[in-house]
Amino acid sequence: MRPAAKLAYAALIVGTTLLMPSHARAQAERLTAREVVDRIKANIGVPWAEQTVDTFKDGDPDTRVTGIAVTMMATLDVLQRAAAAGANLVISHEPTFYGHLDQLEPFEQANDAVMAAKRAFIRDKKLVIVRMHDHWHRRKPDGIETGMIRALGWERYRRPESEFLFTMPETTLNDLAASIRSRLGSATLRVVGDPTMRVTKVGVAPGAAGFPAHLLALRRDDVEALVIGETREWETVEYVDDAVAAGMRKALVIIGHIPSEQAGMQEFAQWLEPLVKGTPVKFVPAKDPFWAPK
Residue 1 has what pLDDT?
52
Q: What is the mean pLDDT of residues 159-188?
A: 97
Residue 10 has what pLDDT?
45
Residue 29 has what pLDDT?
81
Q: Which domains does the chain have, with CATH numbers?
A: 23-139+263-283 (3.40.1390.30), 154-255 (3.40.1390.30)
* Cβ-Cβ contacts under 8 Å for 189 (sequence gap 6 or more): 177, 180, 181, 253, 254, 255, 256, 259
User: Between β-strands 251-254 and 225-228, what pairing exists: parallel, antiparallel or unpaired?
Assistant: parallel
Q: What is the mean pLDDT of residues 244-266?
A: 98
Residue 294 has what pLDDT?
87
Note the pLDDT tens digit of each residue in 86-133. Answer: 999 999 999 999 999 999 999 999 999 999 999 999 999 999 999 999
Of the chain, the percentage scoring pLDDT greater than 90 comes to 89
- Asked if 36 and 89 touch (Cβ cutoff 8 Å), the reply is yes
Note the pLDDT tens digit of each residue in 19-31. Answer: 445 444 445 589 9
- Asked if 183 and 152 touch (Cβ cutoff 8 Å), the reply is yes
- CA nearest neighbour of 86 among 113, 100, 65: 65
Q: Give dist(CA 62, CA 80) in Å, integer.
A: 21
Name which of 4-13, 84-93, 282-291 the model is least confident about.
4-13
